[in-house]
Structure 1
Amino acid sequence: MEITRNVILLFLSNIFLSQVPVESNLIQNKLENILNNNVTTRFTRIVGGSNAAVAQFPHAAALFLFLKTGESFCGGSIIHDQYILTAAHCLDDILRIEVQAGTLNIFQGVPRYRETVQPSHTRQHHQYDSDTLRNDIGLIYLMRPIPFSPAIRPIALPSRVTATSTFQGMLTTVIGWGRFEDAKQSLSDTLQFVRLPIVQDRQCTTVYNQFYNFFDTRTNICASGSHARSTCNGDSGGSMTIDTNGRPTLIGIVSFGSSTCEGGLPVAMTRVTAYLDWIAANSLVRC
């Protein structure tokens, strides 16, 4: 049976690259592009989360993005005093980035630990495809090292012995300043965190591969969303971590999911273990 244009449009309107949109008509334009050119949509994504405490997630970086089409926002993870790891789609069409580290509330005055740093340049994965969301990982190179403090510290990367691990059934922590409910159009003032379990890949492939193979089991991790807890608009590039012997370890980067934050659909993360060689080759980080 032929699938109508409206049915496809309705389905794809629920798929997003969790980056904050700058203009509402951009969403419709992107959806039209999907139908005409197989281009994926740029939307935005923590629902049901809790406020983080000062220095609870010292690796968190707030990325203020200045684009050709306006302003946007993403998250990132400090992995070295000169490198921020984020989603590649956060680095599309950027003119300038402002990186804030040690930030808890992004709209308050300068707190005790905040550091604002300008990047020297950025790098998207050489095989990143904005049409399919494959290899959705990128690096931000900073002009100067970020001084570490109790509220600013790098996150550990996974060891190579976990490269083939599925992490299924593990409970993760995902953070971000994204929208905390569908009705809210603005970002959360305060950094949020939510606990999400990793589920079987088929839960994501069932949802996101109906019309196109967005979810790649080799390079993505599937996290369970619920009607009460999930990621939402503005959380793109943020971290998914697990506890490894009492130390948080970065295993995922928020990539894409449902534009209906409270819809209960699963969330796709970039699988960090798949990119340890790329990170090592493009930075001073040993992994």
Structure 2
Amino acid sequence: MSIFFDHTDANARIIGGTEVAAGTHPHMVALIVGVSVKNFICGGSLLTQRTVLTAAHCVDNVYGINWVIRSARVAVGSTRWDSGTDYSILRNVTHPDYNRCIVKNDISVLITATNVVLNSLVQPVALTYEHIDAGVPSIVAGWGVTKAGEYTMSEVLIELPTTTIGNKDCVSRVSEAAIQKGYLVYVDPSLEICTFHSPGFGVCSGDSGSALRRADNGKQFGIASWGFLCALGHPDVFVRISAYESWLKTVIIKKLFCQLLIPFPTSEDDMSIFFEHTDVNARVVGGTQAAVGSHPHMVALSFGADVKSFLCGASLITQRTVLTAAHCIDVVHGENGLIDSFRVSVGSNQWNSGTEYTVAYNMTHPDYDFWTIKHDIGIVVTSTNVVLNNLVQTVPVTYDYIGGGVAAILAGWGRIRAGGSLSRELLELRTNTLDGADCMIRAARASITLNMAYAPGVDPHVEVCAFHSAGFGACNGDSGSALRRADNGHQFGIVSWGFPCALGAPDMYVRISSYQIWLRSVIV
């Protein structure tokens, strides 16, 4: 499906390139299709354990009525496109302004159905959003056509060093070639970037979707898109990734962080924004089973008529007001409001066996931003008063500013290990707050070491962080739960988001003191 226009030459390959050693391009992905017989479509690059970046025109070729056709797969971990580890595709997200006629905004993300297993041969590539100018040494790899004029793809991965060229130079050279051949195509330097090596060297059919990376640090800044007459002296045209920073971060945060719950999670899933990760012995995380009645403020948010599905934790702050994370409310909010089966449950250490109350309405903070996970605070108001007893009590909220070194306690029904099932019993964990500057440094470091380049930044003005030690922390399913002072039990935080559970990074909580005016105005 590569958009490289017809040509006649003979001695072209990705083109002029050389075979690569195993593991030199661990980000490389082959997009393939077919059941009995595999067919190669395009290249791609692994961004995260669930997301693959490629060209939109590659996805066009495997798109059915509603989704990517079932036999489409992505293969990783091999220099041969037909012998890697295959993963099925859950869905794709193509740029809304993609135009197949003029090959513009030619960028798409594929979402795998399960996590891609990382090893020495399979690793995500780091993206750079810096504006790349002329003269930058670069490298591209692919399984494209090895001889121009033929349609046999290379069985092994080929790499080619190349160099970016200036915008004016590229526009001029491509325009000249387009006029000569009668093609109605053009280069848009705001969206595209060009490379050129020399006649006899370049990308060709089948290399579309492959990553263009800086030679000095390996960061990807382009996607092979289209070109003329492979390796006959014309520039190759790549998608300029820096032009799509906002869109890419939006796609990856919303689709990955929320684990693509389409349309809703199953009874063992949740809406917590904790990054996907490989298995580790983690629980809320490293916590212990809570004694009955030790956390009478705890609320379980769930939905479902015949089968209940757990969403998030929450806290009872009045007899009608439940405090939680805004992103927890998002998943049960349809066009006409909250879904009918949405419930709050209280009075039990088991999330699915408490006393249920229907919901009258909800409110989320007006500045709540799903993409950056900021102002992640909301309330749910019950239809009737919650009955208080020794197992059901409201929690006092403190608006004191909490700094670092404050002993705190967290409880929740989150996953008992990363990637595992939810805890059916309430678990508790004692932890400590971090200084804001310290948290920012640790979170930034974690985003690099854990290959989570798209993690939102920490804002100490609206967020407070807590950290115990590696093997201890919040996890999926704990979102919305209360973070309380250990000395007086007052709530000062709401579980919001975090990095791979209990791998040594801090957990982020909404800082309630920042929302005193708003919260007091909406409490019922």
Per the alignment, residue 100 of structure 1 pairs with 345
1:78 aligns with 2:319: no
Give the Cα separation in 1 of the matches to 2:316 and 2:418.
28
* 2:460 corresponds to which of 194, 214, 217: 217
Question: Pairwise mapping of residues 64-213 of structure 1 onto structure 2 (< 5 A)?
Answer: 64-65=302-303, 71-94=309-332, 95=339, 96-107=341-352, 110=353, 114-159=354-399, 162=400, 165-182=401-418, 185-209=420-444, 213=456
Q: In the alignment, is the contact (CA less than 8 A) between 2:343 and 2:358 conserved in 1?
A: yes
Per the alignment, residue 36 of structure 1 pairs with 248
Q: Write the letter of the residue equivalent to 1:271.
A: R
Give the Cα separation in 2 of the matches to 1:263 and 1:225.
11
Give the Cα separation in 1 of the matches to 2:246 and 2:347.
38
Q: In the alignment, is the contact (CA less than 8 A) between 1:225 and 1:267 conserved in 2?
A: no
Give 1:29 shift. Answer: 7.4
Q: TM-score, normalised by structure 1?
A: 0.79
Q: Write the letter of the residue equivalent to 1:48.
A: G
Q: TM-score, normalised by structure 2?
A: 0.44
Give the Cα separation in 2 of the matches to 1:9 and 1:241.
33
Give 1:166 shift. Answer: 3.3
SS of the residue 1:118 aligns to: strand
Give the Cα separation in 2 of the matches to 1:56 and 1:34.
44
Percent of residue pairs bearing the same amino acid type: 25
Q: 1:191 to 1:98 in 2, by over 3 A?
A: same
Deviations 1:45-70 (CA, angstroms, capped at 9, x unpaired): 6111011111100000011146xxx9
SS of the residue 2:417 aligns to: coil
Q: In the alignment, is the contact (CA less than 8 A) between 1:181 and 1:262 conserved in 2?
A: no
Q: In the alignment, is the contact (CA less than 8 A) between 1:123 and 1:138 conserved in 2?
A: yes
Deviations 1:6-57 (CA, angstroms, capped at 9, x unpaired): 67536999xxxxxxxxxx95894799x9862525222536111011111100
Q: In the alignment, is the contact (CA less than 8 A) between 1:62 and 1:103 conserved in 2?
A: no
Q: 1:122 to 1:105 in 2, by over 3 A?
A: same
Structure 2: stretches of 5+ with no match in the other structure: 1-26, 28-43, 53-88, 92-109, 116-244, 260-271, 275-283, 333-338, 448-452
Query: RMSD across aligned C-alpha pairs, in angstroms?
Result: 3.1
Which stretch shows the higher mean deviation, 86-95 or 73-82?
A: 86-95
Give 1 or 2 for the bigger CA radius of gyration: 2
Give the Cα separation in 2 of the matches to 1:62 and 1:224.
24
Per the alignment, residue 274 of structure 1 pairs with 514
1:249 aligns with 2:490: yes
Give the Cα separation in 2 of the matches to 1:115 and 1:218.
36
Per the alignment, residue 19 of structure 1 pairs with none
SS of the residue 1:84 aligns to: strand
Give 1:172 shift. Answer: 0.5
Deviations 1:98-130 (CA, angstroms, capped at 9, x unpaired): 1100121235xx5xxx32101111111111000
Give 1:208 shift. Answer: 4.1
SS of the residue 1:273 aligns to: helix
SS of the residue 1:264 aligns to: coil
Give the Cα separation in 1 of the matches to 2:427 and 2:90.
28
Q: In the alignment, is the contact (CA less than 8 A) between 2:403 and 2:436 conserved in 1?
A: no
Per the alignment, residue 289 of structure 2 pairs with 51
Q: Write the letter of the residue equivalent to 1:181.
A: R
Per the alignment, residue 9 of structure 1 pairs with 48
Q: In the alignment, is the contact (CA less than 8 A) between 1:81 and 1:154 conserved in 2?
A: yes
Give 1:186 shift. Answer: 1.4
Q: Write the letter of the residue equivalent to 1:188.
A: S
RCO higher in 1 or 2 (8 Å CA, sep ≥ 6)?
1
